[in-house]
Amino acid sequence: MPILAALKERNNSACELCASTDELSIFEVPPVKEPNSDKSVLVCKTCQSQLDKEVEMDNNHWRCLNDSMWSQVPAVQVTAFRLLTRLAKTEGWAQDLLDMFYMEDETKAWAEYGVAADNIEEVAPTRDSNGTVLVAGDNVTLIKDLDVKGAGFTAKRGTPVRNISILDNPEQIEGRVNGVRIVLLTTYLKKMPLFED
C-alpha cells in the first residue's frame, strides 16, 4: 500500500497533529533511510510549512499537541516531542506538556536524536590568512610585525608559533611567542608546511 494511502487509513484522512483535513501530505520524520509509513506523519499544509521552517512558528496553532502527543503512533509522538521542545523555550504550556510526555525508550531516543540535531550550530573553521584550515597543534608563522600589548615586545614577521590552540572565535588562535602565551588574529598568520616543523 502506498505511504499516503496508509497514512490516510491510519488517521481517517486527517492531520495527525492538528486534525485538519485540508491539503494533506506526507512528512517524513528524520532520520529516514527508506521512506515508509512508520517513519512518516500525515500533516496539513499549515503544520507542514511550520515543520519545514518555511514560516514562523504559530505557537497557538501547536496547542493541538495537547491531544496528538498521546497518539499511539511513534512517528507522531516523536514529531510532537520535537515541536514541544522547540516551543518550550518560550511557552510555559509546552514545557508543562513535555513534563507529562511518556514514550517508550526506543521512541524517546529517536525523538531526542532530532532535538540534538536541531541544536547543533554550524561552527566556522579557523582559517589562516590564505584560507587554509587550522587545527589544534598546527604550526604557523606571523606575516606581519605585531606589537604585543602588555608584554612589551614586538613579534616580528616570520616568527614561528608552534603547537597552536584553537579558540571558540574562529578568527583567533592561542600560541606561544617569545615564551609568552598570547591570542593572535588569524589574518596575520600563515600555516607552516609540515616539512618546516
pLDDT in tens, 116-164: 655 544 457 889 999 888 888 899 999 999 888 777 888 899 999 999 9
Rounded to an integer, what distance in angstroms lies between the CA atom of residue 143 and that of residue 121?
32
Supply the mean pLDDT for the chain.
88
User: How many other C-beta atoms lie within 10 A of the C-beta of residue 129?
Assistant: 15
- Looking at the predicted structure, is the pLDDT value of residue 197 above 50? no
Residues of the chain with CATH 2.30.30.40: 126-196
Q: What single-letter DSSP state applies at residue 28?
A: E
Q: Are 86 and 118 in contact (CB under 8 A)?
A: yes
What H or E segment, with its residue span, contains residue 189?
A: strand 189-191
* Chain segment 59-80, per-residue pLDDT in tens: 999 999 999 999 999 999 999 9
CATH fold label, 126-196: SH3 type barrels. (2.30.30)
Where residue 150 falls (left for φ over 0; alpha for ψ -120 to 50; beta otherwise) is left
Q: What is the pLDDT of residue 122?
A: 46
* Alpha-carbon torsion (110, 40, 120, 139), positive or negative: positive
C-alpha cell at 44: 496539513
Question: What is the C-alpha to C-alpha distance for residues 189 and 160, in angstroms, rounded to an integer?
Answer: 9
Distance of CA 145 to the CA centre of its chain: 39
pLDDT of 184 > 50? The answer is: yes
Distance CA 21, CA 97 (A): 25
Q: What average pLDDT does this structure show over 27-51?
A: 91
